[in-house]
Structure 1
């Protein structure tokens, strides 16, 4: 029999934050597509929210790769007087609307959610409906670099501070089992701290495993860990290498994913 397996329940995919490292998600998606692995729920934090939303809209990994290659990253940010942050993230909202014109969670082809962090409550905020671009921007709003995004009276910052890999959100949406993609496990800060972005993102990495946030650490039933060791968080020019690292890590976990999500059919 060509397909002797059936699925065990609903499947979720959780894509973590990680700035430029998030381009490795594209490689993971390539492997999922090649192996015919489909997900009922797609969730993302920060850069994972951008890539996850595009995939949920129906763009292929190859198309997302081309979008990333064409993207003028300087247009994402707008320099402002540094009152709450050095940059506005309005440009990102415009880009999301360009590629997902309906700008609605409910208009996506797959169920999608993203996570931000509340400055007030210090807890994750889950977004699953409403203005898609604004809520993805909130999920990406690295503090100090970007101004917080105000949504429903809450000032929101980057989701990676509290829920780096949003497996819990995927389960909340209805996933029985979750594949998580964690980007910062293998990264070592070996370069000079010569930019505010590098320093802040390394600070997030240090804080994420802390006891304070431990109750929010659910990275999934199968976790893919691309071995990103020496590429900086702002290494957008290393897209091909990052995609390849994502592919390698995902391919190593295909048997684990099949074992977790597939059940052999009765003859």
Structure 2
């Protein structure tokens, strides 16, 4: 999608410690956030992430975000299912080897210390109830540990530690950026307020060069698919195991994210609504990336004016 770019905007020329939160497919909004930061002249000096945040941050630091974006934009539901290597092993339904190997083929089997900028992937040690920060070693070993969503993906065993999704303990990993010498700490929280109706009027005003009306705007269409939870017509008897798991995990992450942001407030927080997409809706990349871009633009514009 082609966006209208403000060519008269002066570059911000400020360095950013970028914190990318966990939240499944909603994390594709991180791509749009990064695009907006670059367009507005910010320089990303470091990146830390949990779960999907570790994925987007890792491929960005490796210089392969554009390739990853194109891959995601073409992804269909059937292709997503084809990436699921189901297993009878204990601890999860999916091994995760297919998707990790596909990313290694795209990015290369590189080490974190060889990335262009400092990078941290956060996982959770399930036995010792501790965060594990990956700042050295194989990039995709770190990412595989960080994305090990309980019940869905089998845990990653590293040095006799059983590691699962970093979002279990820290869905917005700000602490790894404390030692950075950057101008701004910016966090993207994928567990933001779930009422999207207030976004509608602002988002409909955003213009695209090839769109003639708001009815053809994919973001408007996206918003119309989501309503305030109290207005949703989903009935509990229609829920499956994954629905209950997703709701429980989102509720937990929302609570922890709120605590982390209050304890370690970043300079800027970009809030992505927690009901923007379900955990596995990666086939909606186009909408989610554009939403992230527009949400970032709005937030950064407001920050500049303060």
**TM-score range normalised by the length of the shorter chain:** 0.7 to 0.9
Residues 234 and 209 (structure 1), Cα distance of their counterparts in 2 relative to 1, 3 Å cut = closer
Residues 136 and 174 (structure 1), Cα distance of their counterparts in 2 relative to 1, 3 Å cut = farther
3-state DSSP of counterpart to 1:182: strand
Residues 86 and 227 (structure 1), Cα distance of their counterparts in 2 relative to 1, 3 Å cut = closer
1:248 corresponds to 2:294: yes
Q: Is the CA contact (8 Å cut-off) linking 2:51 and 2:143 kept in structure 1?
A: yes
What is the match of residue 80 of structure 1? 87
Residues 256 and 106 (structure 1), Cα distance of their counterparts in 2 relative to 1, 3 Å cut = farther
**C-alpha RMSD of matched pairs (Å):** 2.9
Residues 259 and 124 (structure 1), Cα distance of their counterparts in 2 relative to 1, 3 Å cut = farther
Counterparts of 1:256 and 1:169, CA distance in 2 = 26
Counterparts of 1:154 and 1:165, CA distance in 2 = 22
Which moves more between the two structures, 160-169 or 248-257? 248-257
Which among 47, 54, 64 is matched to residue 42 of structure 1?
47
3-state DSSP of counterpart to 1:253: helix
3-state DSSP of counterpart to 2:69: helix
Residue 259 of structure 1 deviates from its aligned partner by: 7.4
3-state DSSP of counterpart to 2:178: helix
Alignment of 1:72-111 (within 5 A): 72-111=79-118
3-state DSSP of counterpart to 1:133: helix
CA distances 1:78-115 after superposition (whole Å, capped 9, x unpaired)? 11114221111112321231122142102212221110
Which among 39, 51, 56 is matched to residue 51 of structure 1?
56
Residues 114 and 255 (structure 1), Cα distance of their counterparts in 2 relative to 1, 3 Å cut = same
Residue 205 of structure 1 deviates from its aligned partner by: 2.2
What is the match of residue 20 of structure 1? 25
Number of residue-to-residue matches in the alignment: 256
Residue 192 of structure 1 deviates from its aligned partner by: 5.3
Residues 92 and 253 (structure 1), Cα distance of their counterparts in 2 relative to 1, 3 Å cut = same
3-state DSSP of counterpart to 2:157: strand
Residues 164 and 230 (structure 1), Cα distance of their counterparts in 2 relative to 1, 3 Å cut = closer
Residue 36 of structure 1 deviates from its aligned partner by: 1.6
TM-score by length of 2: 0.74
CA distances 1:195-236 after superposition (whole Å, capped 9, x unpaired)? 44433232122223558x946864632100124545322222
Counterparts of 2:12 and 2:38, CA distance in 1 = 17
CA distances 1:143-198 after superposition (whole Å, capped 9, x unpaired)? 11111101122100001111101111222566564100011212366445634443
TM-score by length of 1: 0.83
Query: Could you list the runs of 5+ residues in structure 2 that have no partner in the other structure?
Result: 1-8, 195-227
Q: Is the CA contact (8 Å cut-off) linking 1:117 and 1:124 kept in structure 2?
A: yes
Which among 108, 121, 126 is matched to residue 119 of structure 1?
126
Which among 275, 278, 298 is matched to residue 232 of structure 1?
278
Q: Is the CA contact (8 Å cut-off) linking 1:85 and 1:145 kept in structure 2?
A: yes
What is the match of residue 214 of structure 2? none
Residues 170 and 79 (structure 1), Cα distance of their counterparts in 2 relative to 1, 3 Å cut = same
Larger radius of gyration: 2
